[in-house]
């Protein structure tokens, strides 16, 4: 039996993730065969089973990786904004705009929803918790009207997630994005103090 080092195991996992990401993005989950995927990765099915359990587990790991990258991008937008409200607003807009990026659209908003039922509960909780902190800060600054920050974060997150799915599923994604952004501005104006 050949013993593999930790670095080799991590490299194998990274190779499978990168290959799956390319295949799922180009062909979609349903049209990606495990044999073709492992052949492109230069690995065996056994390696895939060892690291991810099965093809569905591999999809979940790819979605988690993309979600993490999306979170980093949104955090960067928030941190780079002129003020907290503008950062929050820009993050919400950017989230909807990401629905038209081919990789996010196909893997996260189409395949993950049909195969995995959507974002993982951990991912949803993390997004809501992050949004709750931002909303709490904006309430303390007197920008947003007083409400329960978790309830408001859950409502806004749910609205954004459903709007992103709606944008990604449509024939006219660009038109839906424009309509979604208009509706988002209306929604966000409604939470401002004194609105």
Distance between CA 111 and CA 117 in Å, rounded? Answer: 9
144 DSSP β-pair partners: 192
Distance between CA 16 and CA 58 in Å, rounded? Answer: 8
Cβ pair 74, 94 in contact under 8 A: yes
The residue assigned the tokens 């919400």 is 92
Q: For the chain, which residues score pLDDT lower than 70?
A: 1-3, 195
pLDDT in tens, 67-112: 999 999 999 999 999 999 999 999 999 999 999 999 999 999 999 9
Q: What is the DSSP letter of 193?
A: T
Distance between CA 12 and CA 170 in Å, rounded? Answer: 36
pTM, 2 dp: 0.89
Report all structural domains of the chain as residue ranges with CATH numbers, in order of start: 1-53 (1.10.10.60), 62-189 (1.10.357.10)
Distance between CA 45 and CA 33 in Å, rounded? Answer: 11
Q: What's the pLDDT score for residue 119?
A: 73
């Amino acid at each position: 039996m050949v013993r593999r080092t930790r670095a080799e195991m991590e490299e194998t996992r990274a190779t499978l993730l990168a290959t799956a990401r390319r295949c799922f993005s180009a062909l979609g989950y349903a049209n990606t065969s495990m044999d073709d995927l492992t052949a492109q990765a230069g690995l065996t099915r056994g390696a895939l089973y060892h690291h991810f359990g099965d093809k569905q587990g591999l999809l979940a790991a790819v979605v988690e990786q993309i979600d993490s990258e999306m979170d980093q991008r949104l955090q960067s937008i928030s941190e780079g904004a002129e003020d907290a409200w503008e950062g929050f607003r820009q993050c919400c807009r950017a989230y909807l705009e990401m629905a038209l990026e081919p990789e996010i659209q196909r893997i996260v908003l189409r395949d993950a929803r049909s195969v995995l039922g959507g974002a993982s509960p951990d991912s949803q909780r993390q997004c809501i918790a992050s949004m709750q902190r931002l909303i709490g800060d904006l309430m303390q600054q007197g920008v947003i009207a007083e409400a329960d920050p978790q309830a408001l974060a859950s409502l806004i997150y749910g609205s954004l997630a459903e709007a992103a799915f709606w944008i990604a599923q449509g024939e006219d994604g660009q038109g839906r994005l424009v309509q979604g952004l208009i509706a988002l501005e209306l929604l966000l104006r409604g939470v401002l103090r004194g609105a």
